[in-house]
Structure 1
Amino acid sequence: MVDDNLLFSSIATLGARYRDGSLSPVAVTQQSLDRIARLDPALNSFITVLAEESHAAAEAAGRELKAGRDRGPLHGVPVAVKDLVEMADVPTTFASRAGSPRQGESDAVLVRRLKEAGAVILGKTNLLEYAYGAVHPDFGQTNNPWDVKRTSGGSSGGSAAAVASGLSFAAVGTDTGGSIRIPAAYCGVVGLKPSFGLVSLDGVKALSPSLDHAGPIARSCADAALMLSAMTGMRHDLPSVAIRGLRIGILRHPGAERFMEAPIQALFDQTIALLGKAGAHVRPLEIVELKSANDAVAKIIEPEASQLHRDLLRQEGHGFSAITRDQLEAGFHVTAVDYLDALAVQARLRGAFQQAFESVDAILSPSVPWVAPAEDPPIGGESGVGEIMFSGVYNLVGLPALSIPSGLTDQTLPGGLQIVTPWKADDLALAIGAAIEGLLPAMRHPAIGESLFVSVP
């Protein structure tokens, strides 16, 4: 029997136990499945649980380790995959009744790579319908492990909740305007939107090809780096980063003052103060074109999503939730001129960020201006604009953007800190994140009765 506390251990700790023979992938996988059965009815983080398949994968992983075949750090580690990603012989629902379920014919490239790395895939996680900002009523909201009366965020909320609550050691998410980083912040875990194009999207249902990314969600930057290595098929190590001398830019986001909640601002200010005390050089940054970023994101997502879903909307429009259907219809009214203007903003912003990184090593901000709300805000409304205030621009420019937990508010709810680094400096973002993790106090999970969390020493 595996103690539930072990399900919150690092991937490296788990791997060490596998290799010294004190623990087996079968036992850990079974404990993960038992925990899903016990706790996920309150969370709703999984759409499909692959009990038989994960058992078989765990048994194979154990046999290989005993025979001396070691596939690497993820060998035998239970992980989860967002239900937007194709897996062979497994249904993909997209959390929708339109075009769903669709039986997978082959594994997405990132799934194939996870399997090659020896990962045990527990199942497919819940999401906002087709990753487009709305809950389909037949699938329901994924609830937040810190407070099940609140959302875990979107669109990768199922992946973030599963990782945060010890159901899975790590998970795959996708991000078109913040959909990895927002739920990571709400759930108190680590989420990386990698550099554009670093993780293959072959076999991942597109929403907006100009802005889509796939990336890891984990409980630490070290674990996220291991997931990124497996998902890309390339080694991603955390270089040694000293806080002293690190050049940090604090970017002014026009209009952010309308949305920033005091507890999140306080957590951010505390982190910046700690970095200053540790010897980091902190300076303000301003990018004039930033004021146009979120509008440009909308003008790109809307027509691209509508074009991609056009046939399905005509054939099975009744299968979409009313909100998603309305969003898809609205995208047909974005003019070609508006779309081209947005692409021009994208190009100018890429140049502006490239110039900004000549004077700083990383740009920091809150991940989201508030704690997890009761429900996901409408994508086109005022609160929807606020939710992606700090995240959407990095889908536009394709830079790596990482959310790490910044601490707990007085409501015992997590906040998120976003770390952005230059193009393809994903390892640097994770290394800076790991260094900041060492500065911040450990977050203590609530452990009251049959809680979603166990106490972490």
Structure 2
Amino acid sequence: MENELHYLELSELSQLIRTGKVSPVDVTRAQLARIETLDGKLNSYAHVAAEQALAQARQAEAELARGEYRSPLHGVPIAVKDLFWTQDMPTTAGTTIYRGFVPPEDATVVRRLKDAGAVILGKLRMTEGAFAIHHPDLPAPVNPWGAAHWAGASSSGSGVATAAGLCYAALGTDTGGSIRFPCAANGLTGLKPTWGRVSRHGVFELAASLDHVGPMARSARDVLYMLCAIAGHDPKDPTSLPGACLEIPRIDETFKGLRVGVDESWLSDGVDPAIQQGLQQIMAFVREGGGVLQSVRMPDTRAVSTNWEQHCGVQAAIAHEATYPSRAAEYGPALSRLIDGGRELSGLAYQRILLAAQRFTGAVDALLNQVDLVLAPVQPYAAPTYEQLADLALDPEANRRLIQFTSPFNVSGHPCLSLPYGCTQQGLPLGVQFIAKKGAEAVLCRAGMAVQRVSDWHKQHPPGI
């Protein structure tokens, strides 16, 4: 069973469960056995909740037997980043400070997943505090496509577990690219929703105005199923947008009638030829699927990507006031540096950053009144080695270039969908993204489904796993 099931898409497994062809208990047992076999080398899980998961699976099985169907997630084993409060298991946010902390309640998104009938396998490893680097005293997840290569920023455990068949989807967060980077590095599909579309109540902050909660999965349809379970207004999060949880829309899986903006210079400047080739293939899919490619000029992203670390650092300093600097010795060097930089920035300098962010946001809003989507890479090259990543940390301009296609849309709050589109000659996955106007997640998922209807890139898996 395990060999037949573990790489199914969530939507495929959901149908098997609903029709009684697969038992939630059996598939959960298979997932737990696979985690026990493989995760000692992959380090994707911070905590495995075997007993709770099996209890949830038994409950789902009994409910389905009575004809009580909750949602497409009913009985499906998933996992959540260790940033989300879970009242029945620890939540550490990738730190040592919160080791052993068991929250008093579930994060709103975790509660909504449980209400949808999902089986929560456990908590997934992440970088310290959701910034760039893992705490030096904690294991880092290993990219199943190549152990020497980056697994993709803070939601790395979510990416590794989903790519390796250790869960059918995962929750991640994205403050500067941390859903999209691990999706690109691990060959997955991921959605950074509109800021406020998904509640952040019960989610450890990195930078409140930049943090986005979203799903990571194997297909655009799976991402849509996850989004519909977690999205919607939450009275406990005053920044969440009004409106109820989303209904799963009927989607025309083509580009018919969609206008896709392309800025050729933005897509080619400093971008590896392999990624440019993939973007051209996506453009061909748009044309063949009835869409229109429209030449646009992307607003300059240099200022917001250059400013991103300071923008994040000021807000991270606020988020960590209770423990930093009073417990600074327990922090790793990367998060310490971020917070120190935020604490040292003047109010005048921060106001300039905010004004630049407002100008950029307005310019992107105006652009997305002309087109339905904008096409972009996730990053200008495939997942770097850890040696290359260490060099990036010492070069501000190289680091800016890494985040130039992701962080600007955390600043502006626009939704983005990351898709896999093949591999390098060395066998490393590559990623592309679509950007849409605020609230247009259904359009993004439609574009993703249109690509995945005519390609099989999302069905490729790490060799030998």
- Normalized against structure 1, the TM-score is what? 0.93
Matched with 1:68 is 67
Q: Given that residues 164 and 462 in structure 2 are in contact (C-alpha distance below 8 angstroms), is that contact kept between their aligned partners in structure 1?
A: no
Matched with 1:24 is 23
> For the structure 1 residues 444 and 412, does the alpha-carbon distance in structure 2 shift closer, same or farther, using more than 3 Å as the test?
farther
1:224-303 alignment runs, 5 A limit:
224-232=223-231, 233-237=245-249, 239-240=251-252, 242-251=254-263, 257-258=269-270, 260-303=271-314
Matched with 1:396 is 411
* 2: CA distance, partners of 1:343 / 1:105: 35
* 2: CA distance, partners of 1:326 / 1:446: 36
Matched with 2:435 is 420
* 2: CA distance, partners of 1:417 / 1:195: 18
Q: Matched residue of 1:59: which SS?
A: helix
1:142-161 alignment runs, 5 A limit:
142-161=141-160
Further displaced range: 70-79 or 320-329? 320-329
Matched with 1:305 is 316
Matched with 1:409 is 424
Q: 1:265 is matched by which residue type in structure 2?
A: Q
Offset at residue 3 of structure 1 (A) = 3.2
Q: 2:403 is matched by which residue type in structure 1?
A: I
Offset at residue 319 of structure 1 (A) = 1.4
Q: Given that residues 357 and 411 in structure 2 are in contact (C-alpha distance below 8 angstroms), is that contact kept between their aligned partners in structure 1?
A: yes
> For the structure 1 residues 316 and 213, does the alpha-carbon distance in structure 2 shift closer, same or farther, using more than 3 Å as the test?
same
Q: Given that residues 299 and 338 in structure 1 are in contact (C-alpha distance below 8 angstroms), is that contact kept between their aligned partners in structure 2?
A: no
* 1: CA distance, partners of 2:261 / 2:44: 35
Matched with 2:446 is 431
* 2: CA distance, partners of 1:255 / 1:310: 39
Q: 1:30 is matched by which residue type in structure 2?
A: R
Offset at residue 176 of structure 1 (A) = 0.5
The equivalent position to 1:347 in structure 2, one of 358, 365, 369, is: 358
* 2: CA distance, partners of 1:276 / 1:369: 24
> For the structure 1 residues 410 and 96, does the alpha-carbon distance in structure 2 shift closer, same or farther, using more than 3 Å as the test?
same
Q: Which runs of 5+ in 2 are unaligned?
A: 232-244
Matched with 2:180 is 181
Q: Given that residues 402 and 418 in structure 1 are in contact (C-alpha distance below 8 angstroms), is that contact kept between their aligned partners in structure 2?
A: yes
Q: Matched residue of 2:385: which SS?
A: coil
Matched with 1:317 is 328
Q: Matched residue of 1:147: which SS?
A: coil
> For the structure 1 residues 150 and 291, does the alpha-carbon distance in structure 2 shift closer, same or farther, using more than 3 Å as the test?
closer
Aligned-residue CA RMSD (Å) = 2.0
Further displaced range: 414-423 or 304-313? 304-313
1:377-424 alpha-carbon deviations (Å, 9 max, x no partner) = 566734432221101111111111010111122111111111011110
Further displaced range: 277-286 or 90-99? 277-286
Q: Given that residues 251 and 284 in structure 1 are in contact (C-alpha distance below 8 angstroms), is that contact kept between their aligned partners in structure 2?
A: yes
* 2: CA distance, partners of 1:255 / 1:247: 17
Q: Matched residue of 2:6: which SS?
A: helix
The equivalent position to 1:368 in structure 2, one of 379, 396, 400, is: 379
Further displaced range: 320-329 or 121-130? 320-329
Offset at residue 103 of structure 1 (A) = 1.3
Offset at residue 438 of structure 1 (A) = 2.0
Further displaced range: 301-310 or 262-271? 262-271
Q: 2:80 is matched by which residue type in structure 1?
A: V
Q: 1:421 is matched by which residue type in structure 2?
A: A
Offset at residue 343 of structure 1 (A) = 1.3
* 2: CA distance, partners of 1:195 / 1:236: 17
Offset at residue 100 of structure 1 (A) = 2.9
1:97-112 alignment runs, 5 A limit:
97-112=96-111
Q: Which runs of 5+ in 1 are unaligned?
A: 453-457
Q: 2:174 is matched by which residue type in structure 1?
A: D
Offset at residue 290 of structure 1 (A) = 2.7
1:130-150 alpha-carbon deviations (Å, 9 max, x no partner) = 001111122222111211222
Q: Given that residues 256 and 386 in structure 1 are in contact (C-alpha distance below 8 angstroms), is that contact kept between their aligned partners in structure 2?
A: no
Q: Given that residues 420 and 457 in structure 2 are in contact (C-alpha distance below 8 angstroms), is that contact kept between their aligned partners in structure 1?
A: no
* 1: CA distance, partners of 2:289 / 2:252: 15
- Normalized against structure 2, the TM-score is what? 0.91
Q: 1:237 is matched by which residue type in structure 2?
A: P
Q: Given that residues 296 and 343 in structure 1 are in contact (C-alpha distance below 8 angstroms), is that contact kept between their aligned partners in structure 2?
A: no
> For the structure 1 residues 430 and 197, does the alpha-carbon distance in structure 2 shift closer, same or farther, using more than 3 Å as the test?
same
> For the structure 1 residues 54 and 253, does the alpha-carbon distance in structure 2 shift closer, same or farther, using more than 3 Å as the test?
farther
Q: 1:272 is matched by which residue type in structure 2?
A: M
Q: 1:408 is matched by which residue type in structure 2?
A: C
Q: Given that residues 108 and 202 in structure 2 are in contact (C-alpha distance below 8 angstroms), is that contact kept between their aligned partners in structure 1?
A: yes
1:293-321 alpha-carbon deviations (Å, 9 max, x no partner) = 21232232111101221331223212111
1:345-394 alpha-carbon deviations (Å, 9 max, x no partner) = 22212221121122211000111111112225566734432221101111
Aligned residues: 448
Q: Matched residue of 2:36: which SS?
A: helix
